[in-house]
Amino acid sequence: MLQGKRIIVGVTGSIAAYKTALLIRLLVKAGAEVQVVMTAAAREFITPLTLGTLSKRPVAGEFVSDAASGTWTNHVDTALWADIIVIAPATAHTLAKAANGICDDFLTAVYLSARCPVFWAPAMDLDMYKHGSTRENIRKLESYGNRFIQPGFGELASGLVGEGRMAEPEELVAQIGAYFSQSSDWAGKKVLLTAGPTQEAIDPVRFISNHSTGKMGYALAAELARAGAVVTLVSGPTALSVPHPSVRRLDVRSAKEMFEACDRLFDEQEVVILAAAVADYTPLVVATQKIKKKEDVFNIELTKTVDIAATLGQRKKPGQWLVGFALETNDELDNAIQKRLRKNLDLIVLNSLNDAGAGFGYDTNKITIIGPDGHADFPLKSKKEAAADILQAISRLAFPPK
C-alpha cells in the first residue's frame, strides 16, 4: 500500500531519533518516496547525511538554502507534495508549538501548511508525557484531525520505566500502511451517518432528549472523510463543529426530521451508519404555548417514533451496508445480537453504561462489534481510535480483498 506514496518524515530533538533511520529505510523499501524535514535540535542527535542517504533526497530544514543567491525552500510546496506527514520522534516541545500555532521553524511551517493527514509518534519521559499540558496539546491536535501513534511502555532514556517510548519503526510502518489500505477502501464511497441526540418538543420551551453529545458519530465522520469517503452527516443538536471540511452536515432536531432526512438520502448511499441516539417516543400533542406549572402531577402522552434502523433495514438493497449502535445497561450482548437480527443490520456496535469511560459524554469508548460471524471485543480507547476500529470492521465485511 505504500508504493509511490509521498511521505514527509519530520524529525525533532529526541534520543529516539536513532529509530527514525530504520523507519525511513522501511518506508523506502516499501516503495514510498520520503522527504525528511529536521529541526535544528534533531541534528544534534542524528545527522542529515544519514537520513538524506537513506531517503535518497536532500534533507529539508532551513527556509534559506543559499543566502548569497537568495535561494529558499518553499514550505508550502513541501507540504502540498505529501500524501501524509509522520513526525517521529515528536517531542513535547514540538507538540506544544503545533498545538498552539507557533511557527518558528521549517517543520512547523510545513505542518501548518499541510492539507494531508498528519501522524505524531510522541517520544518523551513518562512524566512529560502524562503532564496535563502535554495531554491538552495532544487533545487539541486530535481535535484538528491529527492522529497519534501511541508510545510504548518500557525503560526510558532517563532510567525510569513507563509510557513514553516512541513506537517501534515496524509498528509505525504498519499503521501508516493500514491508513492507506483503509483510505483506498473508502475512497469515493457514499456514506450516510447519523449522530447526536434528538429533541422531542413538549411546548415551545421544553423538550425530551437524552445525554448524547454526538462525539462518537463525529469521530466516525472525521475518520471517514480522511479516508476519502463522501460523507453526509445528519446531526441532531450538538455543540460540536463540522469534523472535516469535506463533510456535508444536515442539522435536524426531532426523530421525525432525522428519519425524513435519512429516508430521502438512503437509496443513493453505499454505507449507512446510524450512530445517533434517537428518541423512541415523542409527545403525541405539542402545546403551542408554554405550559404553566399548576398541577402537582402532570402527564404527557407519548407515541412511538419511526424506527429508523428497522425501516431502512427493510429497504436495504444488495450492495448497501447498514450499521447500527446499541447502548445497553443489562444483558448487553444478547440484546445487541437480537437487535441486529431484528433490524436487518450488517453490523452493530455495542457499548454499555456499565463500562467505566464508555457511553455518553466521554472522549473514550469501549465497544463490541457484532456481525454475522460473531463478535469482537475492544479495550477502552479514544473515540477516534474506536472509530478507526469500526471502519476497519466495515471494510473487512463490505470491501474484502479481491
Catalytically active residues, by annotation: 210
325 is in an annotated binding site: yes
Give the chain's length.
Answer: 402
Count how many Cα atoms sit within 13 Å of the Cα of residue 185 in the half-sphere of its side chain: 22
331 is in an annotated binding site: no
Sign of the CA dihedral with 206 first, then 211, 215, and 216 last: negative
**The 3-state secondary structure of the chain, one letter per residue:** CCCCCEEEEEECCCCCHHHHHHHHHHHHHCCCEEEEEECCCHHHCCCHHHHHHHHCCCCECCCEEECCCCEECCHHHHHHHCCEEEEEEECHHHHHHHHCCCCCCHHHHHHHHCCCCEEEEECCCHHHHHCHHHHHHHHHHHHCCCEECCCEEEECCCCCEEEEECCCHHHHHHHHHHHHHHHHHHCCCEEEEEECECCEECCCCCEECCCCCCHHHHHHHHHHHHCCCEEEEEECCCCCCCCCCCCEEEECCCHHHHHHHHHHHHHHCCEEEECCECCCEEECCCCCCCCCCCCCCCCCCEEECCCHHHHHHHHCCCCCEEEEEEEECCCHHHHHHHHHHHCCCCEEEEEECCCCCCCCCCCEECCEEEECCEEEECCCEEHHHHHHHHHHHHHHHHCCCC
63 is in an annotated binding site: no
Count how many Cα atoms sit within 13 Å of the Cα of residue 168 in the half-sphere of its side chain: 5
CB 194 within 8 A of CB 150: no
140 is in an annotated binding site: no
290 is in an annotated binding site: yes
Spatial CA neighbour of 99 closest among 146, 158, 66, 65: 146
Distance between first and last Cα of the chain: 15
In sequence order, the β-bridge partners of residue 364 are: 382
Placement of cell 529526541 in the chain: 14
* 347 backbone dihedrals φ, ψ, rounded to 5°: -135, 155
Binding site residues for CTP, as ranges? 280, 290, 325, 339, 343
Residues forming the annotated binding site?
Answer: 280, 290, 325, 339, 343
